[in-house]
Amino acid sequence: MSTSTDTSVVVIGAGQAGLSVAYFLKRLGLDPGNDFVVLDRGPGTGGAWQFRWEALRIGSAHRINDLPGMDALGLSFDTADRTAPAKDVVADYYRQYEEYYNLQVVRPADVTSVENSGSDLLVTLTDGEIEQVVTTDIVVNATGTWGAPFIPWYPGLRSFEGKHVHTTEYTDARDYEGLDVVVVGGGTSAIGFLMELEGVARSLTWVSRRAIDWRADGELNLEAREEAVRMQDEMARAGRALPSIVSGTGVPRTRRIQAAIERGLLDPKPMFSSIEPNGVRWADGTFQRADAIIWSTGFRPELRHLAPLKLREKEGGVVVAQGASWKDPRVFFAGYGPQASTIGANRAGRFIARQVVATLSKLQNLA
């Protein structure tokens, strides 16, 4: 069954980016649930955080920035509970935020396609049973990356008889008890897994494609971060697939991490060159047995539902300028490319909400 409703703006995704856009749209005078609708396919609040693994804690590596206007609720991630799972704390804070600002997020609302229908955009969504079509002037895509995990291809990948596990599938260290585990990736997720699996797995091997850029605790690698943001921006403008932003930010040597380096846990090997049914092999012939390979190798932007709009370039990405698609300026991207962190998502919210309102008034003048 299919029903149809109209609104001016559809925001897809209620993570840090989507909520931030919604907050600023409201501040600019748009009425949530009426002038704009926020759709999210997750069962609960928290964006991708609700799906992260149990042992992840707030501040275990990077800072989580507060949502705009969160101080009015007396909440801040800086003072949040660091003993409870981050997934629960973030879900709880976002829930309070959505309620306080009455953002009326619709969930579960899985957007399966966005189509062009002349002057309108048609957004098709489902709650798992009923399909619905929303007609809108503007779409803000804030779908993050969690739904599009990336595993690089290596010879023999499919021949592996153990478990391939991407970051998104990791739930509990106990699943690896007594196993030989290879962890792939140079970011904080890989390091977090190694620390959790120490003394649980039978053997742990860490491999990374690039050398780890260790930073003193609290030291922000501003130059590298700027370079990473610049590269993401350049790639986004050129419509190319986006590199990982974490690759430019470095890994903070917190006290826990420093201690783990000193006891020899965090000593990465270069990347292996092939995968065999029972393990991985390096170019020099060295072999490591493995029951599981954990791929902390990042994500790609989740854009499948936008396929009917044909926004992608042949290079794989979408050209984004001034927050919107170059090919269709009614489609905005929040939390995309250089905005893929909580601080970036916040900044995007303010900027994109203003652009959206400016576009709406242009469209009104044309009508």
Ligand X SMILES: Cc1cc2nc3c(=O)[nH]c(=O)nc-3n(C[C@H](O)[C@H](O)[C@H](O)COP(=O)(O)OP(=O)(O)OC[C@H]3O[C@@H](n4cnc5c(N)ncnc54)[C@H](O)[C@@H]3O)c2cc1C
State which residue, 126 or 203, has the beta carbon closest to ligand X.
Answer: 126
Structure tokens at 139: 């779409």
Q: List the helix and strand counts (H, then E) for the chain.
A: 6, 18
State which residue, 68 or 279, has the beta carbon closest to ligand X.
Answer: 68
Which of these, 71, 16, 8, 77, lies nearest to 49 by C-alpha position? 16
CB of 303 to ligand X, least distance (A): 9
State which residue, 224 or 363, has the beta carbon closest to ligand X.
Answer: 224
Distance separating alpha carbons of residues 69 and 49, to the nearest angstrom: 20
Distance separating alpha carbons of residues 178 and 201, to the nearest angstrom: 5
CB of 346 to ligand X, least distance (A): 9
State which residue, 145 or 280, has the beta carbon closest to ligand X.
Answer: 145
Q: At CA 245, angle to CA 219 and CA 187, rounded to 5?
A: 65
CB of 179 to ligand X, least distance (A): 22
CB of 159 to ligand X, least distance (A): 28
Distance separating alpha carbons of residues 10 and 32, to the nearest angstrom: 10
Count of C-beta atoms within a 10 Å radius of residue 34: 10
Structure tokens at 19: 């909520």
State which residue, 160 or 295, has the beta carbon closest to ligand X.
Answer: 295
State which residue, 56 or 292, has the beta carbon closest to ligand X.
Answer: 56
Residues 6+ apart with CB under 8 A from 195: 256, 257, 260, 265
State which residue, 63 or 237, has the beta carbon closest to ligand X.
Answer: 63
Which amino acid makes up residue 300?
Answer: R
CB of 334 to ligand X, least distance (A): 7
Helix (H) or strand (E) holding 362: helix 342-366
State which residue, 204 or 345, has the beta carbon closest to ligand X.
Answer: 345
Q: Which residues bind to ligand X, rule: CB under 6 A?
A: 12-18, 39-42, 47-48, 52, 61-64, 109-111, 142-144, 146-147, 167, 189, 302, 305, 335, 341-342, 345
CB of 74 to ligand X, least distance (A): 21
Q: By the 8 A CB rule, do 186 and 210 touch?
A: yes
Alpha helix ranges (H) inside 113-171: none
- Three-class SS state of 281: strand
Count of C-beta atoms within a 10 Å radius of residue 310: 10
CB of 312 to ligand X, least distance (A): 16
CB of 289 to ligand X, least distance (A): 27
Which of these, 8, 304, 31, lies nearest to 140 by C-alpha position? 8
